[in-house]
Amino acid sequence: MLTYILRRLAVALAVMLTVAVVSFLLLHLSGDLATAIAGP
């Protein structure tokens, strides 16, 4: 059972990291962030 939990935990952490990378990239690659913050 412990092996199973550790295996699922490792997968969960890998998914978390992937989500962090993808959300960061989507936000920063969707245009110039500085222009978006400053406005027109």
Binding residues for other proteins (CB under 8 A) = 1, 4-5, 8-9, 12, 15-16, 19-21, 23-24, 27-28, 33-34, 36-37
Q: Is 3 helix (H, G, I), strand (E, B) or coil?
A: helix
Minimum CB distance to other proteins, residue 16 (Å): 6
- Please state, in angstroms and as integers, the Cα–Cα distance from residue 5 to each residue in 9, 11, 13, 16, following that order: 6, 10, 12, 16
Minimum CB distance to other proteins, residue 2 (Å): 10
Is there a contact between 27 and 33 (Cβ–Cβ < 8 Å)? yes
Minimum CB distance to other proteins, residue 21 (Å): 7
